[in-house]
Amino acid sequence: MKPLRLGVLGSGQGSNFVALAEAIRSELIPAEIVLVAGDQAEAKILAHARERKLPVYACPKSAFRTKLEPEIEEELAGTLAKAGTELVVLAGYLRVLKKPLLDGFGGRIINIHPSLLPSFPGLKAWEQALKARVTQTGCTVHWVNETVDGGAVIRQAKVNVQPGDTAESLHARIQHAEHRLLPEVVRDLATQRIPWPKDPRIS
């Protein structure tokens, strides 16, 4: 089976990227990572990628916190395309995707989010869950479209909220679930166990 070519985007520590890369290294997923991109040069995910001798791209500094300038995102989309990316994986990527990436890779972008969507979209979903006093939360892998955290759900993993949980303890358990869920979904996409959207803009 031909390996699925992945481009991974991140903004922070890169723990989901590490889980994915280790699953690929262990031959649990028929995929290869052709590019790891960060929206800022100091993102830890890029250091993890360099340690693994993987191609790395750091976006130029942006004037915005929640999105990239069109020309910066255009360059990122072009770099992913030149690397031969077939699936874009958002692994802790904190920017809202706009036209360049959505047009270039519509229907071929997945994201992992730390809640059971549609509950608690947006930032710090584990804190939202605690404030809402829910007894169960979790994580979701979903297709990415124009709506933030609004694309079709692919698969979810549940995490119980325990008495005495803090934001830190709950987040840690959600991340543990993410590290299982994301590689599992990429594996099933790579082996066609999960169908890909027929229309590239329906996600």
Which residues are identified as catalytic? 113
Report d(CA 129, CA 193) in Å as an integer: 31
Is 43 strand, coil or helix?
Answer: coil
Q: Say if residue 183 is preceded by a cis peptide, omega within 30 of 0.
A: no
* DSSP assignment of 170-181: HHHHHHHHHHHH
Residue 105 Ramachandran class (φ > 0 left, ψ -120 to 50 alpha, else beta): alpha
Residues 6+ apart with CB under 8 A from 190: 1, 3, 4, 29, 30, 31
